[in-house]
Structure 1
Amino acid sequence: MTIAVLSHVPEPLIAVLRERAAAAGRELTVYAAYRGELPERDAHEAWVVLGGAQSAHADRATLQPEIDTLAGAVDDGLPLLAICLGAQLLAVATGGRAFTGDSGLEAGLIEVSSTAAQPPSGRYLSFHSDSMEPPPGAERLAKSDRYLQAWRYRSALAVQFHPELDVTGFEAVLDVEEDKLAHFGVDVPALRAEIAVPQPSPSAGERLIDSWLAGLPARP
């Protein structure tokens, strides 16, 4: 069985996820969730739900089928890693909520302080202006100086930042988000210079994905 990856764009930027999954001997199957293509719950050993430009609250009606599918996956105890928009959809699916963040756009390398081994504390690539309230009973795991960054609920780990992206992938995000960056008055050249500085290896994102993969059930 493979890991299902639910994408909200035609060509998902998941270089780190692909590399770390391959190193762990795990295969990925990408679904075009933005077109309504969703996996069967018993067809994969785990799911990764990616980010995207959609809004878990403003686009609620369009995204409702995916929200319902995520709710069922959690009810079934399926291991799940939800990233950015994925984390916001998961919050809605499990009884929490998603909303416009009150601290503006959080973009670039951010410092995440964690109370758990997964996700580890460190610097992560981030790009979001929405936020979320986890469901009752969720364990809050990490935060930045502006937003909640990670929480766990049953079989699911939700993170607001982007461990799946490498610098090239993040540059591609900046290329297509010019309007949003301009709206929030971001100094894009300074942001590009910041993310170009080499980070320790393995990065915090790589360590998070390695840890999550290592926690999946052993294959028979």
Structure 2
Amino acid sequence: MTLSNDLRAVVLVHDRDPELARRDIGTLADELRTRGFRMDVHSFDHSPDLAPPTLSNATMVVIMGSPDAAYDDTLPWLAPEIAYVQEAIDAQVPILGVCFGGQLLARVLGGSVRKSEQPEYGFVDVETSDPAFIAPGPWMEFHGDTFSAPPQATVIARNRAAQQAFVLGPHLGLQFHPEIDLDTYDAWAAAWDRDGVEHEVDVDEIRRDIADAELAARARCSTLLDAFLARSSAVPR
């Protein structure tokens, strides 16, 4: 799918290291550029004193993952980001939320976020009611929290552990990471090393799985982005 005109995606990232935060956009960065988007990348986390991009002519907002929790109101940058996401919703700018981004989107739209009883790490399949939009996978998971979709939303993918995708108006919230590639995962690992984070899963095995699946994962991300863009443009605004 190739789009034209002046397309602008505001991308919200989360890491106190700006370089690592940009790498977290993963394959979505190339996919957006290929479709003619220019990206305004902003972080309420590492750049709290920088004014966020204007939403007046934004085509879409993408909210990426974070090591922090979407329910942790002690984070000084979370309230300003919530207010910005609410502003985007009020302006009817389509939002794509990825993992933490999906959780934050669910919260702002009236759903909830909590610690998961079944954290997920690695590639999983999902049950989908709309396979042309959300394929059954496998999708990359790396989360200890989970969302409950807003009451007005439609959950279109799930598994035993969690709701995996919901739609509400032009917005799409995801629990998984369609953007995953080796560079993204290595950026996560660099942040874990920096912060002394240890996981009870084999992170090296997951990296090998990503290497094996990288091309197929990129193709699934591309298809999902096209479906999101087609759906969000068809929803009355």
Q: Distance in 1 between matches of 2:136 and 2:74?
A: 31
Deviation, structure 1 residue 61: 5.5
Equivalent residue, structure 2, for 1:3:
9
1:62-73 equivalences under 5 Å are 62=76, 63-73=78-88
User: Could you tell me which of 4, 22, 35 is aligned with 1:24?
Assistant: 35
Equivalent residue, structure 2, for 1:131:
146
Q: Distance in 1 between matches of 2:144 and 2:221?
A: 20
Q: Distance in 1 between matches of 2:38 and 2:121?
A: 30
Q: Please state if 1:192 is matched with 2:192.
A: no
CA distance change for structure 1 residues 209 and 45 in 2, over 3 Å: closer, same or farther? same
Q: How many residues align?
A: 215
Q: Distance in 2 between matches of 1:195 and 1:3?
A: 26
CA distance change for structure 1 residues 74 and 6 in 2, over 3 Å: closer, same or farther? same
Deviation, structure 1 residue 49: 0.8
Secondary structure of 1:33's match?
coil
Q: Distance in 1 between matches of 2:68 and 2:218?
A: 30
Deviation, structure 1 residue 212: 2.1
Deviation, structure 1 residue 141: 1.0
Equivalent residue, structure 2, for 1:109:
123
| CA-based RMSD | 2.2
Q: Distance in 1 between matches of 2:169 and 2:232?
A: 14
1:97-146, Cα deviation, whole Å (9 max, x unpaired): 11111113x11212122211322221112211011112111100111331
- Give the conservation status (yes or no) of the 8 Å contact 1:121–1:204: no
User: Could you tell me which of 78, 96, 102 is aligned with 1:87?
Assistant: 102
AA at the equivalent of 2:95: L
- Give the conservation status (yes or no) of the 8 Å contact 1:6–1:38: no
CA distance change for structure 1 residues 192 and 15 in 2, over 3 Å: closer, same or farther? closer
User: Could you tell me which of 141, 157, 164 is aligned with 1:149?
Assistant: 164
Percent identical: 29
Equivalent residue, structure 2, for 1:119:
134
Q: Distance in 2 between matches of 1:68 and 1:167?
A: 33
Secondary structure of 2:133's match?
coil
- Please, what TM-score do these two structures have when normalized by structure 1? 0.87
Q: Distance in 1 between matches of 2:31 and 2:141?
A: 19
Residue ranges of structure 1 left out of the alignment (5+ in a row): none
Secondary structure of 2:59's match?
strand
Q: Distance in 1 between matches of 2:217 and 2:108?
A: 35
- Please, what TM-score do these two structures have when normalized by structure 2? 0.81
More RCO (CA 8 Å, sep 6+): 1
CA distance change for structure 1 residues 119 and 18 in 2, over 3 Å: closer, same or farther? same
Deviation, structure 1 residue 60: 5.6
Q: Distance in 1 between matches of 2:223 and 2:83?
A: 30
User: Could you tell me which of 160, 169, 190 is aligned with 2:175?
Assistant: 160
User: Could you tell me which of 66, 70, 81 is aligned with 1:52?
Assistant: 66
- Give the conservation status (yes or no) of the 8 Å contact 1:38–1:66: no
Deviation, structure 1 residue 25: 1.6
